[in-house]
Amino acid sequence: MRVRFTQSAIDTIEARRELLDLAAGAYASFEGWVRDHNEGQVVTRLEYEAFQELAMKEGERIIADALRRFPVKHALCIHRVGSLDLGDMAVWVGVSSAHRGEAFDACRFIIDEVKHRVPIWKKEHYRGGDSGWVNCERCAAAPHHHDLA
């Protein structure tokens, strides 16, 4: 599978090896890290949860889309699930291609699509003990404000 989920630290050295290709002159990667703040709150740790069966299918479709759209050789995405600390790598995307332009473009495309399409959820834990599911709690707390705005 070209999209995977792991409970343990992402091994980028091993993942990168899968992209090697003598026809590739370029490699681009993206790492998403756990940040200590979000929307004005101090974040202390994160939890990720995935609906893995569908997430792998949708992820595979994203990789296939990327390979159709951009002339790249190989692409791979690995996403952490479970509890993560500040500074941990939450997601890694790697792409190899003949030239650098399409490697950067495909890498950007894949991470953007993963964020929007793949059923993965992120719970932020804040200083002070509060926590919240990103993109779920604020909408849920005030579902009618969108209608009034």
Partner 1 sequence: MQLKIHYYALMREQAGRSEETVETSAATPADLYGELIARYAFTLSREQLKVAVNSEFSEWSRRLEQGDAVVFIPPVAGG
- Residues 6+ away with beta carbon under 8 Å from 27: 16, 19, 94, 95, 96, 103
Among 13, 22, 23, 141, binds partner 1 (CB under 8 A): 141
Given phi > 0 = left and psi -120 to 50 = alpha, else beta, which region is 37?
beta
Minimum distance, C-beta of residue 23 to partner 1, in the bound complex (Å): 29
Q: Does 45 bind partner 1 (CB under 8 A)?
A: no
* Mask for 112-131, x = binds partner 1 (CB under 8 A): --xxxxxxxxxx--------
Site for partner 1 in 48-107 (CB under 8 A): 48-51, 53-54, 57-58, 79, 90-91
For residues 2 and 63, the answer to whether their CB atoms sit within 8 Å is yes
- Residue closer to partner 1 (CB basis): 99 or 145: 145
